Amino acid sequence: MARRFSLLHRFSRGIVALGILGICCDIMVAETASVDSRVFGLLALGISAEEVQQRLGPPDKIVPQSKQIRGTMYRGQVALHEVERVVWFYSGEGRLMDTFLTIENGVLIAKDKRR
């Protein structure tokens, strides 16, 4: 009887360990998940980069595009300001399309999905 209890105890500890391992694996997969088309469709142009990161998580890669100085006409005068544009890349990991989000001065201005 003592031997049977010992084997059952070891078996149940193994099940618990596998369960914990499974939960950890699910968490790791969720952190690096691809961008689902439904979530992509709900991204509105003009939202902040922080809100994009809250919804999708950190990008797989950030590619700086350019820094430009632009002029804006305001009441007959030209105001110069610097514009920084970057592209956030989320990998589709082979099963989904890759996602490219263009961020300009911290605001989402374009979104695209490509193979």
DSSP annotation string for the chain: -HHHHHHHHHHHHHHHHHHHHHHHHHHHHHHTPPPPHHHHHTPPTT-BHHHHHHHH-S-SEEEEEEEEEEEEEETTEEEEEEEEEEEEEE--TTTS-EEEEEEETTEEEEEEEE-
Question: pLDDT tens digits, residue range 23-73?
Answer: 443 333 334 467 888 889 999 999 999 999 999 999 999 999 989 998 888
Q: What is the reported pLDDT for 16? A: 44
pLDDT tens figures, 78-110: 999 899 999 999 998 878 899 999 999 999 999
Provide the residue ranges of all domains of the chain, joining segments of one domain with +: 1-31, 34-114
Report the CATH fold assignment for 34-114. Answer: Beta-lactamase Inhibitory Protein; Chain:B, domain 1 (3.30.1450)
